[in-house]
Structure 1
Amino acid sequence: MTAARHAPVRIPAAHHGAPLGGQQKTFNHHIEQIARQRELLADWQQAIDAYRERHAREAVPLQRAYVALVAELVRHLDAQSSDKRLAKSERRALSEAIAGRLTMLIDAVPDEATRAGLQEIHDRHGGSDSDAGEAEGGDMAGQECDADMDSPEDFMRRLDEQMQARKEEAERQREAHRATRRRKPGARERKAREAAAQATQSVREIYRKLASQLHPDRETDPAERERKTALMQRVNQAYAANRLLDLLQLQLEIEQITPDHIAGLSEERLAHYNRVLAEQLKELQQEVREVQGHFLREFGLDPARSLKPANLMRELRAHLQIIEYENLQLRRELNALRADPAALKGWIQAERQQRKARHGDMDPWS
C-alpha cells in the first residue's frame, strides 16, 4: 500500500464552524506549500529531461553544422585576404572579421587538428596581439617584483612584519573565541535554542513510534517482513532528511495516527512541528532554485531569465529556429563569396557598417 492512496496530511476544519487555531492554520499552510514545491520540483525535473533529450537530438547537430560553416567561411576569407585588389584598410577590416569570428569559435571545435589550423589563421590575422600585450605586461610586473626584492634587508623586514601581523591576528581570533565562549546567551537566543531542541525531539519521537511498529527483525511472516522493511527504509530516509511531513504521512499510512489526532495536538506541539516544516519548505525551495540554476548554466541560458517548466520546449523551439536561420545565412554568404570573388569587397563593406553600428559612427578601419 502506497502513500498516494491515503489522504494527505492536513488538519480538518473543526465541527460547528469553529475556526482553526493560529498554529493549525500555519501547519496547513506549510503542508500546502511543501506540496506545491514538490510538484514544481517534479515539473522542473521532467521538463529538463525532455529538454535535454531534444537538445541532444536536434540542437547539437545544428550547432556542429554552425561551427563547421563558420570554419569554412573563415578559411575562404583567409585565402582571399592576400588579394592585391583589396585596399590596406579593407585587409585590416577583413583580418579583424576573421580573428573575431575565430575567437568565439575555436574552443567549440572538437577536432584537435582542425582547431590547430584555425588557431594559425587566428594568429595570422592579429588575434594574438592582445595575448602578447598581456604577456608583456606580465613580464613587466615580474620585473617590478624582482626590483622590490633587490634589498635583502627590505625583504627580511617585510617578512618580519608579515609574521608579526599573523601572530597578532591569531591572538585576536583566540581572544574572540574565548569571549564567545564566556558570553552567556541572551533570552532570545536561549529561547531559539530550546525551540530547536524541542522541534528535534518531536521528530525523534515520531521516528521512534514508527520504528517500534515497523521494525522487521521480529516479524515471522516473510511477506509482512518485506513490507515492513520497505516502510522502514522510507522512515529512515525521512528521518535522516528531517522530513517531518513524510514521517506524519507514514503514520497515517500505517494508521498509527488519524487526521483528528493531528487536529487534537496542542498549540505548543504544533509550533514545534511548524518549525520543522518551515525548514523543510526552505530546503525544498532551495532545491528548486538549484535545479533551475544548474539547468540554465548547463545550456548557457541567461541566469536572470524567469522560466517556467511548461515554457522550456517553447524556448528550445525558438533556439532551434535561430540556429537554423544562422546556418542558412552562412551557407548563402559562403556560396555568394565563392561564386563571385568581387563580392568580397561588398562583404567587407557590410562588415564595416555592422562595426560602425555596434561602436558608433567611428570606423576603426578607415
Structure 2
Amino acid sequence: MATQPQKHIIQIGTKKQQAILSKSQKEFNRLIKKIETLGQSLHSLREAAQHIQQRVQTDYRPLLEQYSRFRADLVRMFDRAYERKEFTKTEKKKLVDLIQKMAFELIDVHGLDELKPIYDKYDPDGFDQTNVESDQQTAYLMKEMMGSMFGIQFEDGADVSDPQKMAAYVQEQLAQREAAEAERRQQASERKSKKPKTEKQQEREAKKLAEERNITKAVRTLYLDLVKAFHPDREPDEAEKERKTEIMHRVTEAYEKSDLLALLRLQLEFEHIDQTHLENLAEEQLKYYNKILRQQAQELDDEFFALQNDLSALTGKPAFAVSTPIALEFSLNSDIAQLKRDIKQIKADIKALTEPVALKQWLKTYRIQKPDEFSFFDLM
C-alpha cells in the first residue's frame, strides 16, 4: 500500500506575526484554512457515505425485509379474520381498509407479489389496475407540484408515469429553458457589442481581460516551474523516471483542476519554494492567488452542499441531520434501533391479535381515513 505524501502547511507568517500581516496576506491564510477544512469535511463525509451505504445493505435491509414479512403475516391474519362470523360489518370494513393499504404497499414498494391474491379479493379492480390508477394520480400530483415549483407546462402525452421519467422530463424542460435563455442572452450580448463602447467601458473590459489573463498565468507559472523540474522524458535513470512520472501525474491533475493550493503544496514538498518565498509574495500576486482560492473555496462549498442534498434524499432526513460522519452514523443507528423496536412490537401484536376478542378490541381504536383527509404524502 502506497504511503500518502505528507501535506505541507501553507501559511504566511507565524501566529505571532499574524497581527502585522497585510489584508491580502490575512485573506490568503483565511482562504487556505477554509479550503483545507472544506476538503477534509468533504473527504470524511464521502467516506462515511460509502460506509453507511454498505451498512444499509448488511444491517438495515435484512431488518426491513424481516419487518415486511411480519407485516405480510399481519395481512394474512386480517384476511383470515374477515372470514370469521363473529366480526361485525363495521369491523370487517376496517379489516378491508387495513388489508388494502398494507398489502398495496408491501406489493408495490417491497415486491411481495404473493399478497396480490389477497389484495385482489378485496378490490374489484385488482392490484394491477389500482396500481396504474395510483401511478396516474401520483403523476398528476407530481405534475401539479413540479409545475408550481418550476413553472413548467407539461405537454399532452408527456410520459411522467414514474419518478425517473418525471425527473428526466423536468430536467429536459429546464435544460431547454436554460438554452433558450442562453440564446436570448447571446443575442442581447451581440446587439450590445455592436453598439459603440464608451472609453470607460473599454477600460473596464481591458482591465477585466488583463486580470483573467494574470489569474491564468499565476497558475500556469507554478505548473511550468514544476514541469521543468520533473518532466520524465529526458530522465535516463529508470527509477528516477518512474518517480518523476508519478510526480507529473499529481502536477497535471492539480493544474487541470486549477488547484492553486495543491500546486503550492507540491512546490513546498519538492523544495521549489520555502516559507520565506510565501511571506515575500508581492501584493499583486497575492491578489490573483486570492481570487483563485476564493473560486476553489466556492466550488468545494457547492460540492459539499450537493453531497448533503444527495444524502438527505437518500436517507429521507433533513440535510443538517446528515451533514457530518457522526450525524450520518447516528441517523442510521437510530433507524436500525427503531426498526428493531418495530419488529419486536409487531411480533407481540401478531401474537396478541390472534385472539378474536383482542382483535375486535383493537379494531375499536382503528379509524378509516376519509377521502378528504388524503394527502400527497400518503403516496410517498
Whether the TM-score (by the shorter chain) exceeds 0.5 is: yes
Amino acid in the other structure paired with 2:310 = H
Amino acid in the other structure paired with 2:82 = S
Amino acid in the other structure paired with 2:114 = T
- 1:11–1:28 contact (8 Å) kept in structure 2: yes
Quote the Cα distance in structure 1 between the aligned partners of 2:362 and 2:18.
79
Q: Which residue of 1 aligns with 2:333?
A: 317
Q: Which residue of 2 aligns with 1:237?
A: 253
- 2:68–2:106 contact (8 Å) kept in structure 1: yes
Amino acid in the other structure paired with 1:8 = I
Quote the Cα distance in structure 2 between the aligned partners of 1:17 and 1:282.
25
Structure 1 vs Structure 2 CA RMSD = 3.5
1:341 corresponds to 2:356: yes
1:298 corresponds to 2:314: yes
- 1:106–1:118 contact (8 Å) kept in structure 2: no
Equivalences for residues 1-366 of structure 1 within 5 A: 4-5=5-6, 7-13=8-14, 19-110=20-111, 113-114=113-114, 116-117=116-117, 119-120=119-120, 123=123, 128=130, 131=133, 173=184, 176=188, 178-182=190-194, 184=197, 191-303=207-319, 305=321, 307-338=323-354, 340-352=355-367
Measure how far apart 1:117 and its partner are: 4.0
Percent of residue pairs identical: 30
Amino acid in the other structure paired with 1:302 = P
**What do residues 227-250 of structure 1 show as CA deviations (whole Å, max 9, x unaligned)?**
110000000000011100001111
Measure how far apart 1:197 and its partner are: 2.5
Q: Secondary structure at the match of 1:217?
A: coil
Quote the Cα distance in structure 2 between the aligned partners of 1:289 and 1:43.
14
Quote the Cα distance in structure 2 between the aligned partners of 1:114 and 1:333.
22
Quote the Cα distance in structure 2 between the aligned partners of 1:7 and 1:269.
21
Q: Secondary structure at the match of 2:123?
A: helix
Measure how far apart 1:177 and its partner are: 5.1
**What do residues 278-325 of structure 1 show as CA deviations (whole Å, max 9, x unaligned)?**
111111122222222222322333346364222332222221111011
Q: Structure 2 vs 1, CA of residues 227 and 132 (structure 1 numbering), >3 Å: closer, same or farther?
A: closer
Q: Structure 2 vs 1, CA of residues 346 and 306 (structure 1 numbering), >3 Å: closer, same or farther?
A: same
Quote the Cα distance in structure 2 between the aligned partners of 1:179 and 1:269.
36
TM-score, structure 1 as length reference: 0.76
- 1:103–1:122 contact (8 Å) kept in structure 2: no
Quote the Cα distance in structure 2 between the aligned partners of 1:186 and 1:326.
70
User: Which stretches in structure 2 are left out of the alignment for 5+ residues?
Assistant: 141-155, 157-179, 374-380
Question: Which stretch shifts more, 172-181 or 302-311?
Answer: 172-181
Amino acid in the other structure paired with 2:191 = A
Higher Cα Rg, which structure: 1
- 2:72–2:115 contact (8 Å) kept in structure 1: no
Quote the Cα distance in structure 1 between the aligned partners of 2:207 and 2:67.
63
Q: Structure 2 vs 1, CA of residues 130 and 303 (structure 1 numbering), >3 Å: closer, same or farther?
A: farther
Quote the Cα distance in structure 2 between the aligned partners of 1:96 and 1:121.
12
Q: Structure 2 vs 1, CA of residues 3 and 318 (structure 1 numbering), >3 Å: closer, same or farther?
A: closer
Question: Which stretch shifts more, 215-224 or 55-64?
Answer: 55-64
- 1:70–1:330 contact (8 Å) kept in structure 2: yes
User: Which stretches in structure 1 are left out of the alignment for 5+ residues?
Assistant: 139-144, 146-168, 360-366
Quote the Cα distance in structure 2 between the aligned partners of 1:133 and 1:249.
55
- 1:27–1:270 contact (8 Å) kept in structure 2: yes
Amino acid in the other structure paired with 2:49 = I
**What do residues 63-105 of structure 1 show as CA deviations (whole Å, max 9, x unaligned)?**
0011111111112212322434333332222222222223433
Amino acid in the other structure paired with 1:350 = T
Question: Which stretch shifts more, 273-282 or 174-183?
Answer: 174-183
- 1:78–1:121 contact (8 Å) kept in structure 2: no
Amino acid in the other structure paired with 1:19 = I
TM-score, structure 2 as length reference: 0.74
Q: Secondary structure at the match of 1:305?
A: helix
- 1:73–1:334 contact (8 Å) kept in structure 2: yes
**What do residues 8-37 of structure 1 show as CA deviations (whole Å, max 9, x unaligned)?**
122124998871111111111111111111
Size of the aligned set, in residue pairs, is 323
Q: Which residue of 1 aligns with 2:173?
A: none
